[in-house]
């Protein structure tokens, strides 16, 4: 039998012969197609085959040089491009001279880069899209000639080929709890989402690899891959880690079909890096759909992010928002002290809260995006003029996602500087000494709420919302009810910070499971009516509490009360928010004679006001037929319009430990996925958002840890 080595040798020889035998015209055609689609490795390989078979074609050599530049192979790129320029001195090819300038620029040959850029300006038309960029790059070359070494940086080092690949590694996040670990994003071969085009569709011809989240660890031998964060977090979409909360137990990350369209999610990271099955969306003013990107989460109640939203200085600007109690303030621009007409992006705020790092392509950079540093002047109450981090942190290419380690002895960043392994690589900068701004977490409130439109300054409005009576599904949208629905829809539109809570109450039927399910289906009818009137489904919360909170006694003097059923069947609407609203609301209910009145409505309002806990027993798509659930009190079903998912909960408690006891009982009765949910004023509170409310509600500590 042939040995494995001989089999491999024969296969290699066969492959080599096949490659050599490829038709040169096919190689050129394939190479130019890959070149047009930005698939640089394929383009370089195919065009190199053509060049070997038919050497000397200047168009092919020019494309080869550009592909090599994109692959960070600077010296090889320079040889090809300079050969073409020397061979055809009269060549009027703007792309050739642009990339000849770029590669010389990237290699730090400032004078010759300027010469190539000026050649580009001579041969390109006045309307060529890169003219302004090239003019700026000439100025950046002049800045590069004067660049100095950062006095505190001892060494900048690539994390090596055990971490970096020919793909795109970016967004390094140092672990808060493990000094030898980082998390990062990588769009590399084998990523979960495959290859997708700019519209987010799978495309093996024009697409590029989606990004997944990974971890790397420092061993004695150097940095090594620890692996992907797994299928629970990495999906067929783009995922990018954004940061951790203060104690490192909540991971914030981006997920979207493109890097410019998606949502922020929060996930609890246990000590063994295990992640929750359900990932709550993180609600804040940061919205990728309106160009917001790269948020930094600082001290659990401050977010700094980049955005092109109106009101900025130009390009991407840095903005901030803070959380008061639980409502995020309207984002504020960081002003001309920090922002410029160019791009400011990827902020990092050190522990002292007064040292800001970010990347910018302003003219003070030496190439693309450089890292800048600004400090907050407490006396002047303003940020100082940003200063470049200098060499060797900055390079003539893009240096981005700069973050100090927790101790301040090093910083991690991504760069596509020439000489790397592929697109962007991860780098580490070692400091001579620990940076003092990372010594301790500051309590100084540099970012404070400045808007005057908060609820304290608004006039409190008093409103009364009538309850809706019904007998059957057809009655929900009766003529009388529709008038009330229209009024409540208009009211809801006037308070965009509020959630419309719709609660269905039923009379006592033979089996609670049918009361609950029929009630939530009727709530869905009302919820759809609100969506049809312009209220987003995300702002409508539907729940059915069955017959658990009557306003009329079902039994009087040991006899059924025939009037109770019609009185108790009602649907109530109210506006709720985690933070107080400038509203004083009351619900107009049917009049009930004192001798038959029941305190159910008051009891529900008291139990759900402020912080409360319930235990979610199950999430279903249809009715829950397990009669065991009827053993437990305060049963509810929750959903949202169009969701189709029904969340069954039991119990209402003011203390976390009481809810924990009920959860154990539910698990023992077969509801093995039961979990505790915290609520503020009837609104579910994800753990990621609960952190900011710990000071106001200390009992949340158990919920966050649990």
**pLDDT (tens digit per residue) in 127-149:** 899 999 999 999 999 999 999 88
* Mean pLDDT on 343-364: 95
| Residue 55 burial (10 A CB sphere; 0-12, 13-18, 19+) | exposed
Complete DSSP assignment for 428-493: EEEESS--GGGSS------S----S-SGGGSPPEEEEEEPEE-SSGGGTT-HHHHHHHHHHHHHHH
Give the residue, 26 or 538, on which the prediction is more confident: 26
Give the residue, 613 or 273, on which the prediction is more confident: 613
217-226 LR contacts (CB < 8 Å, sep 24+): 217/178, 217/180, 217/181, 218/180, 218/181, 219/180, 222/159, 222/160, 222/162, 223/159, 223/160, 223/162, 223/163, 223/428, 224/162, 224/163, 225/162, 225/163, 226/181
Inter-helix orientation angle 40-53/58-70, to 10°: 150
| Per-residue model confidence (pLDDT) at position 338 | 95
What is the topology classification, in CATH, of domain 153-438? Tachylectin-2; Chain A (2.115.10)
Say how far apart CA 396 and CA 411 lie, in whole Å. Answer: 19
Do 200 and 229 contact (CB within 8 A), yes or no? no
- Each residue of 638-664: pLDDT tens digit? 999 998 899 999 999 999 999 999 999
Nearest to 356 by CA among 348, 346, 366: 348
Report percent pLDDT > 90 for the chain: 68
- Quick one: CA torsion of 654, 656, 658, 661, rounded to 10 degrees? 150
Please count the residues of the chain.
706
Nearest to 187 by CA among 205, 206, 169: 169
Say how far apart CA 95 and CA 120 lie, in whole Å. Answer: 8
- Each residue of 486-535: pLDDT tens digit? 999 999 888 877 899 999 999 988 788 999 999 999 999 999 999 999 88
| Per-residue model confidence (pLDDT) at position 326 | 59
| Per-residue model confidence (pLDDT) at position 278 | 56
Sorting pLDDT into bands at 50, 70 and 90, what band is 456? very low
Contacts of 406 (CB under 8 A, 6+ apart): 174, 175, 176, 179, 438
Query: What is the SS3 assignment for 389?
Result: coil
Nearest to 702 by CA among 651, 664, 657, 666: 657
* Domain positions in the chain: 153-438, 460-705
Residues 460-705, CATH architecture: 2-Layer Sandwich (3.30)
Contacts of 423 (CB under 8 A, 6+ apart): 70, 72, 166, 167, 168, 169, 187, 416
* Mean pLDDT on 264-287: 66
Retrieve residue 565's tokens. Answer: 């059923």
Say whether 460-705 and 153-438 share the same fold.
no
Say how far apart CA 434 and CA 309 lie, in whole Å. Answer: 36
Nearest to 243 by CA among 276, 213, 206: 213
Q: Which residue has the tokens 């910083």?
A: 411
Query: What is the SS3 assignment for 689?
Result: helix
* Mean pLDDT on 403-407: 94
| Per-residue model confidence (pLDDT) at position 380 | 80
Say how far apart CA 299 and CA 694 lie, in whole Å. Answer: 12
DSSP type of residue 140 = H
Sorting pLDDT into bands at 50, 70 and 90, what band is 393? very high
Report if pTM > 0.85. no
pLDDT above 60 for 11? no
Cα–chain center distance at 169: 17
| Per-residue model confidence (pLDDT) at position 451 | 43
* Mean pLDDT on 316-324: 90
Contacts of 21 (CB under 8 A, 6+ apart): none
Radius of gyration in angstroms for the set of CA atoms belonging to the chain, rounded to a whole number = 31
Sorting pLDDT into bands at 50, 70 and 90, what band is 8? very low
Give the residue, 203 or 62, on which the prediction is more confident: 62
Give the residue, 359 or 379, on which the prediction is more confident: 359
Retrieve residue 191's tokens. Answer: 């990523």
| Per-residue model confidence (pLDDT) at position 3 | 52
| Per-residue model confidence (pLDDT) at position 271 | 35
* Mean pLDDT on 157-168: 95
Q: Is the dihedral of CA 51, 57, 60, 65 positive or negative?
A: positive
Say how far apart CA 434 and CA 430 lie, in whole Å. Answer: 9
Complete DSSP assignment for 254-283: EEEEETTEEEEEEEEB-TT--B-SS-PBPP
Do 164 and 422 contact (CB within 8 A), yes or no? yes
Say how far apart CA 131 and CA 559 lie, in whole Å. Answer: 89
State the CB neighbour count (10 A cutoff) for residue 155: 11
Sorting pLDDT into bands at 50, 70 and 90, what band is 282? confident
CA angle in degrees (0–180, nearest 5) for 574-643-496:
40
pLDDT above 70 for 7? no
Please provide the average confidence, as pLDDT, over all residues in the chain.
89
* Beta-bridge partner residues of 178: none
pLDDT above 90 for 460? no
Do 466 and 484 contact (CB within 8 A), yes or no? yes
Say how far apart CA 416 and CA 680 lie, in whole Å. Answer: 46
Contacts of 11 (CB under 8 A, 6+ apart): none
Say how far apart CA 73 and CA 164 lie, in whole Å. Answer: 15
- Each residue of 335-346: pLDDT tens digit? 999 999 999 999
- Quick one: CA torsion of 443, 449, 450, 452, rounded to 10 degrees? -150
Say how far apart CA 420 and CA 412 lie, in whole Å. Answer: 15
Q: Which of 71-85, 159-173, 265-279, 423-437 has the lowest mean pLDDT?
A: 265-279
Retrieve residue 14's tokens. Answer: 């066969």
Q: Which residue has the tokens 């066969």?
A: 14
| Per-residue model confidence (pLDDT) at position 300 | 79
Do 356 and 374 contact (CB within 8 A), yes or no? yes
Beta strands in 220-325 (DSSP E): 222-228, 238-244, 250-258, 261-268, 293-298, 302-307, 317-324
pLDDT above 80 for 327? no
- Each residue of 35-94: pLDDT tens digit? 999 999 999 999 999 999 999 999 999 999 999 999 999 999 999 999 999 999 999 999
* Mean pLDDT on 414-426: 95
């Amino acid at each position: 039998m042939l040995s494995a080595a001989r089999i491999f040798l024969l296969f290699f020889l066969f492959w080599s012969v096949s490659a050599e035998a490829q038709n040169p015209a096919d190689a050129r055609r394939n190479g130019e197609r890959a070149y047009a689609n930005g698939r640089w490795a394929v383009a370089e390989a195919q065009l190199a085959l053509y060049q070997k078979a038919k050497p000397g074609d200047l168009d092919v050599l020019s494309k080869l040089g550009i592909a090599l530049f994109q692959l960070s192979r600077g010296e090889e790129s320079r040889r090809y491009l300079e050969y073409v320029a020397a061979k055809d001195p009269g060549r009027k090819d703007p792309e050739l001279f642009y990339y000849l300038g770029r590669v010389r620029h990237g290699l730090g040959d400032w004078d010759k880069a300027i010469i190539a850029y000026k050649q580009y300006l001579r041969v390109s038309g006045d309307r060529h899209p890169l003219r302004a960029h090239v003019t700026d790059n000439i100025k950046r070359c002049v800045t590069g000639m004067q660049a100095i070494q950062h006095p505190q940086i001892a060494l900048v080092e690539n994390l090596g080929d055990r971490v970096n690949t020919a793909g795109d590694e970016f967004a390094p996040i140092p672990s808060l709890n493990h000094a030898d670990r980082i998390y990062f994003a990588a769009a590399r071969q084998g990523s979960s989402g495959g290859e997708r085009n700019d519209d987010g569709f799978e495309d093996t011809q024009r697409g590029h690899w989606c990004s997944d989240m990974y971890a790397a660890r420092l061993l004695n031998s150097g940095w090594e891959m620890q692996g992907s964060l797994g299928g629970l977090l990495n999906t067929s979409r783009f995922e990018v880690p954004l940061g951790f909360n203060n104690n490192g137990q909540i991971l914030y990350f981006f997920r979207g079909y493109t890097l410019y369209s998606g949502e922020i999610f929060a996930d609890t990271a246990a000590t063994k890096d295990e992640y929750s099955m359900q990932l709550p969306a993180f609600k804040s003013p940061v919205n990728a759909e309106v160009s917001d990107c790269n948020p930094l989460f600082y001290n659990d109640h401050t977010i700094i992010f980049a955005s092109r939203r109106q009101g900025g200085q130009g390009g991407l600007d840095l903005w901030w928002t803070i959380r008061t109690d639980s409502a995020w303030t309207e984002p504020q621009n960081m002003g001309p002290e920090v922002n410029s007409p160019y791009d400011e992006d990827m902020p990092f705020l050190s522990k002292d809260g007064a040292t800001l790092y970010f990347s910018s392509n302003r003219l003070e950079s030496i190439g693309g995006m450089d890292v800048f540093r600004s400090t907050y002047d407490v006396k002047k109450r303003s940020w100082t003029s940003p200063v470049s981090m200098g060499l060797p942190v900055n390079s003539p290419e893009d240096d981005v996602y700069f973050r100090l380690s927790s101790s301040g002895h090093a910083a991690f960043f991504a760069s596509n500087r020439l000489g790397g392994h592929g697109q962007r690589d991860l780098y580490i900068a070692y400091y001579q000494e620990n940076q003092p701004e990372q010594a301790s977490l500051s309590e100084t409130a540099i970012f404070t709420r400045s808007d005057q439109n908060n609820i304290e300054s608004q006039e409190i409005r008093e409103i009364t919302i009538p309850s809706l009576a019904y007998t059957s599904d057809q009655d929900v949208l009766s003529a009388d009810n529709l008038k009330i629905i229209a009024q409540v829809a208009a009211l809801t539109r006037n308070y965009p910070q509020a959630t419309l809570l719709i609660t269905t109450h039923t009379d006592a039927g033979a089996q609670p499971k049918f009361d609950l399910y029929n009630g939530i289906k009727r709530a869905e009818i009302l919820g759809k009516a609100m969506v049809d009137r312009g209220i987003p489904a995300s702002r409508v919360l539907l729940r059915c509490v069955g017959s658990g909170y009557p306003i009329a006694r079902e039994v009087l003097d040991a006899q059924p009360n025939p009037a109770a059923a019609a009185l108790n069947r009602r649907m109530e609407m109210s506006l709720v928010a985690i933070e107080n609203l400038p509203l004083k609301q009351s619900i107009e209910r049917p009049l009930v004679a004192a001798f038959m009145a029941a305190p159910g409505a008051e009891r529900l309002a008291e139990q759900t006001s402020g912080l409360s806990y319930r235990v979610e027993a199950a999430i279903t798509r249809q009715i829950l037929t397990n009669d065991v659930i009827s053993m437990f009190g305060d049963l509810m079903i929750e959903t949202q319009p169009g969701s189709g998912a029904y969340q069954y909960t039991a119990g209402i408690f003011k203390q976390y430990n009481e809810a924990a006891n009920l959860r154990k009982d539910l698990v023992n009765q077969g509801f093995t996925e039961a979990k505790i949910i915290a609520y503020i004023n009837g609104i579910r509170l994800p753990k990621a958002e609960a952190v900011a409310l710990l000071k106001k509600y200390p009992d949340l500590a158990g919920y966050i840890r649990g």
